[in-house]
């Protein structure tokens, strides 16, 4: 029997457009998915998914999850007809759209299989396997979620010539955020078609918006490195307005962002694939974090309190 883990994540900016070579700023969060692999009698693999979830999430993702497991096993060269296994998934990360739940499950499974079958894969190879496991969930996976899940920390992630790159962002100090789930589960793979339609229908406008977003990423990175959280928050909210214009948010998320700002958050926006899932609010200081988190909890939303950044 062997165990592996993968971090959840929150994307502060960049989100849906990494495949269009817009950089993303992404951070792991301390909540993890933990997967155990054990040998069993029989044929093939079985799954026990014990993750705490946003209601309905696991059922909606079940088919994609099965394809993801098959793909990871194939990439890692593991024949479960000869070596049948039971996969058990759990951990502290709430399974829902927008916090890298699929990536965390892929990373944790890759690590557990690597340990159980003594494959000796490096961290780079684990990340690559997890990236392959993300394709059934996303259609085409950029690699941003699994990279944050594998390596941890606050990262600038970008594609250049189809090659994945990342660098660490060092902040003067750590700071608090609140992640709240809208309850709207998103079919991430369908987002690609929606974005492709925008490219086709409004090519010049789409290109101009991506240029604006790229400039926002640069401004946020500079602010993070300087510890200028008010500017980070300002950029987050400006980016949310752009995402609303691009129909990449959701009316429930929009309302939640407004609530966060009204209760003192420095910035708030949709995080992850968009059109539902989680929103992230910048709430530096435990007191402010608790104020904003409590408001959402009183309204019945699932909430994650996280601390990111620092050296």
Which range has the worst mean pLDDT, 13-22, 232-241, 272-281? 272-281
- The larger pLDDT score, comparing residue 291 to residue 53, is at 291
| 217 shares its domain with 126 | no
| 13 shares its domain with 153 | yes
| 234 shares its domain with 154 | no
| 235 shares its domain with 126 | no
What digits encode the pLDDT tens for the residues 78-90?
999 999 999 999 9
Count structural domains, the chain: 2
Reported confidence tier of residue 23, pLDDT bands at 50, 70, 90: very high
pLDDT of 184 higher than 80: no
| 137 shares its domain with 182 | no
260 lies in which domain range?
A: 174-309
pLDDT of 113 higher than 70: yes
Average pLDDT of the residues in 203-227: 93
Q: For residues 137 and 61, is the Cβ–Cβ distance under 8 A?
A: yes
What digits encode the pLDDT tens for the residues 153-179?
999 999 988 789 999 999 999 999 999
- The larger pLDDT score, comparing residue 137 to residue 37, is at 37
| 141 shares its domain with 216 | no
pLDDT of 182 higher than 90: no
| 68 shares its domain with 154 | yes
């Amino acid at each position: 029997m062997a165990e592996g883990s993968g971090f959840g994540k929150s994307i502060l900016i960049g989100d849906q457009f990494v495949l269009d070579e817009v950089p993303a700023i992404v951070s792991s969060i301390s909540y993890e998915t933990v997967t155990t692999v054990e040998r069993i009698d029989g044929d093939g693999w079985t799954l026990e998914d014990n993750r705490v979830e946003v209601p309905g999430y696991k059922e909606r993702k079940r088919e994609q999850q099965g394809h993801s497991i098959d793909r990871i096993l194939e990439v890692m060269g593991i024949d479960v007809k000869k070596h049948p296994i039971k996969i058990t998934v759990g951990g502290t990360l709430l399974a829902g759209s927008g916090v890298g739940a699929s990536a965390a499950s892929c990373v944790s499974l890759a690590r557990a299989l690597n340990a159980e079958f003594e494959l000796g894969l490096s961290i780079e190879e684990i990340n690559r396997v997890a990236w392959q496991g993300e394709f059934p969930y996303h259609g085409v996976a950029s690699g941003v979620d699994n990279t944050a899940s594998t390596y941890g920390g606050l990262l600038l992630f970008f594609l250049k010539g189809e090659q994945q790159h990342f660098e660490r962002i060092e902040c003067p100090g750590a700071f608090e955020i609140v992640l709240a789930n809208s309850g709207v589960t998103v079919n991430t793979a369908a987002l690609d078609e929606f974005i492709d339609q925008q490219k086709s229908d409004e090519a010049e406008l789409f290109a101009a918006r991506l240029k604006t977003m790229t400039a926002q990423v640069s401004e946020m990175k500079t602010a993070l490195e300087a510890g200028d959280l008010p500017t980070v928050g300002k950029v987050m909210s400006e980016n949310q307005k752009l995402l609303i214009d691009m129909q990449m948010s959701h009316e429930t998320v929009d309302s939640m962002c407004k609530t966060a700002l009204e209760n003192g958050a420095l910035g708030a926006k949709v995080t992850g694939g968009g059109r539902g899932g989680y929103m992230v609010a910048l709430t530096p200081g435990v007191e402010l974090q608790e104020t904003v988190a409590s408001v959402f909890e009183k309204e019945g939303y699932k909430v994650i309190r996280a601390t990111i950044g620092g050296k």
